[in-house]
């Protein structure tokens, strides 16, 4: 009887009204595009083992996606805090004992298999904030806001210890997305965002710094019009950050300063830190409208972009399938991201809504930063393109997230 009941539940999931077929096939198309790009990027280098490994991870990930889509939704909330504790323990371990790759201790190696605990931490953090807010806690109350921020800040601090600033940026963006979605006081959010923008603009010289400080002050004093003491203190933080950015910049590692300089002008180091950006731009631009044809991209097959199957993988379809191919891929990403937002809007529980918007936010941030890196609009901080970039940990996590999103759609009418 139990087996028959499970079979009935499984069949019901695949009914049109319950099974999120649009998300399922959109994700599969992105994974398929990734296979084509990885095969092409490694074809001339005789590195077919990369393609084979990605196939294995994809098979496991798709199986995991289907499992995640069928589990009881309450299980996700039940495991939130234990999973968060496990992810923090793994981040502590990897920060001190992790495998060193390109100067980063971001990996735990078990035999030939290695994974990034930060990928687990993304999902664990989304679950935990969702479980915390599901109790009806109001983010307009400072203690609740501080706890919600602390849930994200703890993994950020450990990830920066590795150091992996790229993943840390994703966590910061995730926090902003969830706080916005959860109705946080916009003044508090402005108090976080304005200093960050001032810090970035201060890298461009004194004039942009002064303009940014004055604009930030005008927003704080004349638009929000909050308590004068709090506003003055916030404006003081803005000024302090503006004039301390250069001090912080001077204490970065040399390779980190190079990346900031290359962001402002890739031509400063065309054969060094700016090489990947310049070559990626050339590959994207050379594809024209319809591309050069599969396996016929000169930048790709002659390997002008080092390790183009990872962070700069968008250069492969852009060169071989042109502007049309790149737009199709971007439209698929936009679809799954907006699908996540739509699901977050339709579910009935706070936990489900926060988890859905968190997953959509993670994908949006990864796509935005990755494409920005490829076009030279953002610093090269090692952010993969979801579902497409080579890497088992990221692919598995993203497929599991897709399965969870499908599960939330299936249980969109459930209130708990």
In a domain, 415, yes or no: no
In a domain, 137, yes or no: yes
> Which residues sit opposite 100 in a β-bridge?
105
In a domain, 241, yes or no: yes
Given a cut of 90, is residue 204 above it in pLDDT? no
Cα dihedral 242, 244, 246, 248 sign: negative
In a domain, 257, yes or no: yes
Q: For residues 389-412, give the mean pLDDT.
A: 92
Q: Are 366 and 148 in contact (CB under 8 A)?
A: no
In a domain, 416, yes or no: no
Q: What digits encode the pLDDT tens for the residues 277-312?
A: 777 777 777 778 888 888 887 777 777 777 777 888
Which tops the pLDDT comparison, 307 or 182? Answer: 182
Q: What digits encode the pLDDT tens for the residues 21-69?
A: 989 999 999 999 999 999 888 876 666 677 888 899 999 999 999 999 9
The pLDDT value given to residue 402: 96
The pLDDT value given to residue 17: 61
The domain of 248 spans: 2-410
Given a cut of 60, is residue 98 above it in pLDDT? yes
Q: What digits encode the pLDDT tens for the residues 250-278?
A: 666 666 666 666 555 555 455 455 666 77
In a domain, 403, yes or no: yes
Q: What is the mean pLDDT of the chain?
A: 81
The pLDDT value given to residue 145: 83
State how far the Cα of 262 lies from the Cα of 266, in Å rounded to an integer: 4
Total of domains in the chain: 1
State how far the Cα of 124 lies from the Cα of 133, in Å rounded to an integer: 14
In a domain, 400, yes or no: yes
Given a cut of 70, is residue 205 above it in pLDDT? no
- Which range, 49-58, 164-173, 403-412, is most confident? 403-412
In a domain, 249, yes or no: yes
The pLDDT value given to residue 212: 77
């Amino acid at each position: 009887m139990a087996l028959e009941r499970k079979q009935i539940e499984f069949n019901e999931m695949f009914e049109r009204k319950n099974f999120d077929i649009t998300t399922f096939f959109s994700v599969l198309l992105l994974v398929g595009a990734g296979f084509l790009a990885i095969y092409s990027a490694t074809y001339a280098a005789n590195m077919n083992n990369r393609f084979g490994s990605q196939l294995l991870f994809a098979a496991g990930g798709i199986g995991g996606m289907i499992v995640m889509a069928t589990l009881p939704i309450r299980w996700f909330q039940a495991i939130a805090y234990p999973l968060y504790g496990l992810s923090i323990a793994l981040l502590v371990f990897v920060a001190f004992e992790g495998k060193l790759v390109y100067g980063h201790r971001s990996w735990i190696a078990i035999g030939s298999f290695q994974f990034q605990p930060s990928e687990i931490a993304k999902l664990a953090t989304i679950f935990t904030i969702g479980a915390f807010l599901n109790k009806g806690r109001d983010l307009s109350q400072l203690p609740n806001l501080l706890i919600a921020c602390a849930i994200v800040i703890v993994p950020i601090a450990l990830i920066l210890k590795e150091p992996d600033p790229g993943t840390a940026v994703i966590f910061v963006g995730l926090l902003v997305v969830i706080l916005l979605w959860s109705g946080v006081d916009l003044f508090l959010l402005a108090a976080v965002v304005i200093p960050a923008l001032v810090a970035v603009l201060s890298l461009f010289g004194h004039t942009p710094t002064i303009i940014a400080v004055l604009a930030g002050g005008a927003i704080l004093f004349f638009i929000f019009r909050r308590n004068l003491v709090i506003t003055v203190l916030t404006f003081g933080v803005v000024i302090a950050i503006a004039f301390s950015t250069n001090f912080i910049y001077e204490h970065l590692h040399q390779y980190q300063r190079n990346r900031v300089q290359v962001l402002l002008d890739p031509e400063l180091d065309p054969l060094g830190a700016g090489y990947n950006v310049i070559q990626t731009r050339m590959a994207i631009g050379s594809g024209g409208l319809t591309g050069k044809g599969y396996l016929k991209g000169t930048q790709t097959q002659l390997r002008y972009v080092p390790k183009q199957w990872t962070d700069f993988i968008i250069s492969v379809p852009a060169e071989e399938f042109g502007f049309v191919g790149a737009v199709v891929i971007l439209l698929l990403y936009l679809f799954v991201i907006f699908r996540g937002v739509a699901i977050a809007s339709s579910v009935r529980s706070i936990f489900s809504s926060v988890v859905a918007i968190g997953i959509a936010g993670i994908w949006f941030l990864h796509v935005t930063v990755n494409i920005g890196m490829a076009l030279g609009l953002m610093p090269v901080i090692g952010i993969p393109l979801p579902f497409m970039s080579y890497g088992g940990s990221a692919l598995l996590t993203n497929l599991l997230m897709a399965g969870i999103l499908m599960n939330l759609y299936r249980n969109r009418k459930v209130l708990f």
